[in-house]
Amino acid sequence: MTQWADLDALRPGVAADVQVVTSDGKSIAAHSFVLGTASPVLERMIERARRGWNAECTIRVLGVSSDAVFAFLQLLYASRVTPEDEEVVTAHGPQLLALSHAYRIGWLKRAAEASVTARLTPEHAVDMLKLARLCDAPRLYLRCARLAAKDFAAVERSEGWRFARRHDAALELEILQLLEDADQRRERWARERASREAYRQLGEAMDSLEHIFSDDGCSCADADADADTDAPPCRGLRLLMRHYATCGARKAAPGGGCTRCKRMVQLFRLHASVCDRAAPHDDGDRPCRVPLCSHFKGKMRAEKADKTWRLLVKKVTRARAMSRLAAGREREVVPEVVAASWARYSSSGGAARLR
């Protein structure tokens, strides 16, 4: 066994009293009190080594290269990762992660995990996924899973994936399960975004109905305006109501009608469910002038709506409240950093994950 490195210079005035032996037989002279203070596992190893008859205390740090062991010991002497040590952590990131996990050094494990996560590539995603599972590194595990789901074609070309398919069926099954979970998650987020958009449009339709039948009347462009121009939101409702008033199928079969007539009736019913105004002939400060509003309100008092309809009313009411709140905030001055952060959060489906 040859003396490969000496850490006496890091603690001048105190002689090294422990030899750290690496996998290739090289020896590094170190100080037992530094190693014992940094790691409880190394402290127990030193205590067991001193119980023997040998005057020289020797411990073995195996499984990684000598350079990684030397970098590991230097970081233990520093007790922190300085900006000058970032290159060392980058060069030996996976090995330092394994060592810090084995010897229970939390601050070094977090630094190594962050370094490996920041520089992860699809070619090493499978290897780092297995390392993250063995070393209990959740941030690295999540990053590997997201990278595999995002660019699985590049992961399939990696040597780690080919090795897993030939020799590690459990790891292959785990990765495929992660991909399936990611696909299901994307589909769920897409459905939630589509439902939120539908509720928002229904809320706008309710506001347009109140605008059309308000006391001042609708001052928007006429429904017969050119279809190529940008029409106000109430234009489609006016066209639908004009069809409802002149539909021959509805007049021929009362209570029936075409699909568009049934859709208009559903909108009137939904308006009556979310309307908080009084009927035109009742005493009230803000009478409601939307057709069939009082009819459907009386029908709702006589018959209890089903659970699905009550849930629809609840979601549309919430969407209207959120739209009005957002419209009020648009008039406020929002910092650009906050606006950009919220845009990224909304586009990534973060709001759906909080549901």
Strand, coil or helix: 133: helix
Average pLDDT score over the chain: 82
pLDDT at 157 over 80: yes
SS3 content of the chain, % helix, strand, coil (to 5): 65, 5, 30
Domain hosting residue 203, numbered range: 191-219+232-279+286-328
Report if residue 133 sits inside a domain. Answer: no
Give the pLDDT of residue 218.
63
Does one domain contain both 98 and 204? no
Render pLDDT for 281-324 as a digit per residue (tens, 0 to 9).
555 556 788 888 888 888 888 888 788 988 998 998 888 888 87
Query: Distance between CA atoms of 20 and 58, rounded to whole angstroms?
Result: 6
Residue 278: DSSP 8-state: B
Helix (H) or strand (E) holding 87: helix 86-91
Averaged pLDDT, 140-158 = 92
What pTM was estimated for this model as a whole? 0.64
Helix (H) or strand (E) holding 35: helix 32-38
Domain total in the chain: 2
pLDDT at 133 over 90: yes
Which of 139-153, 172-186, 237-251 is the least confident region?
A: 237-251
**How would residue 234 be classed by pLDDT, with cut points 50, 70 and 90?**
confident
Averaged pLDDT, 205-227 = 67
Does one domain contain both 87 and 204? no
pLDDT at 190 over 70: yes
Instruction: List strands edge to edge, sheet with 2-6.
Output: 2-6, 26-30, 18-21, 57-60
Averaged pLDDT, 33-40 = 92
Cβ atoms of residues 72 and 101 within 8 Å: no
Q: Which is more confidently placed, 252 or 171? A: 171
Cβ neighbours of residue 108 closer than 8 Å, sequence gap 6 or more: 72, 75, 76, 81, 96, 99, 100
**In the chain, % of residues over pLDDT 90:** 41
Render pLDDT for 64-107 as a digit per residue (tens, 0 to 9).
999 999 999 999 998 889 888 899 999 999 999 999 999 999 99
Does one domain contain both 93 and 213? no
CATH number at residue 303: 1.20.1020.10
Of 119, 138, 161, the one marking the end of a domain is: 119
Q: What are the backbone angles phi and psi of residue 57, rounded to the nearest 5°? A: -90, 125
pLDDT at 332 over 70: no
Query: Distance between CA atoms of 21 and 28, rounded to whole angstroms?
Result: 6
Report if residue 341 sits inside a domain. Answer: no
Give the pLDDT of residue 135.
95
Report if residue 40 sits inside a domain. Answer: yes
- Say how many C-beta atoms besides its own lie within 10 A of residue 164's C-beta: 21
Give the pLDDT of residue 173.
93
Report if residue 14 sits inside a domain. Answer: yes
Of 119, 153, 181, the one marking the end of a domain is: 119
Does one domain contain both 81 and 197? no
Our CA angle for 125, 128, 130, nearest 5°, is 110
Strands (E), 7-129: 18-21, 26-30, 57-60
Query: Distance between CA atoms of 235 and 227, rounded to whole angstroms?
Result: 10
Query: Distance between CA atoms of 169 and 184, rounded to whole angstroms?
Result: 23
CATH number at residue 63: 3.30.710.10
Averaged pLDDT, 219-229 = 48
**How would residue 121 be classed by pLDDT, with cut points 50, 70 and 90?**
very high
Does one domain contain both 197 and 319? yes
Does one domain contain both 14 and 111? yes
Report if residue 63 sits inside a domain. Answer: yes
Half-sphere exposure of 160 (CA within 13 A, CB side): 18
Of 71, 100, 119, the one marking the end of a domain is: 119
Does one domain contain both 213 and 293? yes
Report if residue 125 sits inside a domain. Answer: no
Rg (CA), the chain: 35
Report if residue 346 sits inside a domain. Answer: no
Which of 184-188, 200-204, 283-287, 322-326 is the least confident region?
A: 283-287
Which of 59-63, 99-103, 227-231 is the least confident region?
A: 227-231
Report if residue 226 sits inside a domain. Answer: no
Cβ atoms of residues 34 and 76 within 8 Å: yes
Does one domain contain both 84 and 203? no
Helix (H) or strand (E) holding 6: strand 2-6
Cβ neighbours of residue 67 closer than 8 Å, sequence gap 6 or more: 92
